[in-house]
Each structure stands twice: as C-alpha cells, then as structure tokens.
Amino acid sequence: MKSEEIPTFEEAIKRLEEIVNELEKEDVPLEKSLALFEEGVKLSRFCREKLDAVEKKIDILLKDEKGLIRREPFSFPPEETANRSKDY
C-alpha cells in the first residue's frame, strides 16, 4: 500500500498488525521504530474515525419517532450464539 492511498478499514487493521509485529522484534533500529510508530498512530486515528462514523450512522438508524436514540446492546440470536461459540 502506497502512503498516498487511502486504505480500507480492513487494510488499516492488517497494516497495524504488521507494524506491531515488526516493533516487537528486538533488532529494529530506532529510526525505523519511530517511523513505524508514527505510521501506526496515523492508522489508529484513521480506524477510530471510521468506527466513530459507523457509530453515528447506527445512532441515526436507531432514532425513534421522537428523535431519541435507543441504544441497545448487540446480541446474536440464540442459534447464532451457539454456532459462534464452536468457532473459538
């Protein structure tokens, strides 16, 4: 991914994972560590902004007829919950 390209959320998360893995190595030079850290901070902010935007869209969808937002915890239907627990 080129630095000028705007990544997708998924690409940004994947790159953040790569950065963390690279920074966990003991032999990374200081300058490279700093550059990776700066890139990671930018990607982290990008992901936070994306998540905030999605949350706002969800809030809009959950507004009731009085304009109040009904916050409801997300939960899987019982049959999906049983299937998901097998995946872990």
pLDDT in tens, 40-71: 999 999 999 999 888 888 877 777 777 777 76
Judge whether 2 lies within some domain.
no
* pLDDT above 50 (res 84): no
What CATH number did the domain enclosing 56 receive? 1.10.287
Whole-structure pTM value: 0.65
Which letter, b or e, does each residue of 68-88 get, where b requires 16 or more Cβ atoms within 10 Å of its Cβ? eeeeeeeeeeeeeeeeeeeee
Judge whether 81 lies within some domain.
yes
Judge whether 1 lies within some domain.
no
What domain range includes position 26? 9-87
Judge whether 33 lies within some domain.
yes
Q: DSSP 3-state assignment of 69? A: strand
Number of separate domains in the chain = 1
Taking the C-alpha atoms of residue 46 and residue 62, their distance in angstroms, rounded to an integer, is 25
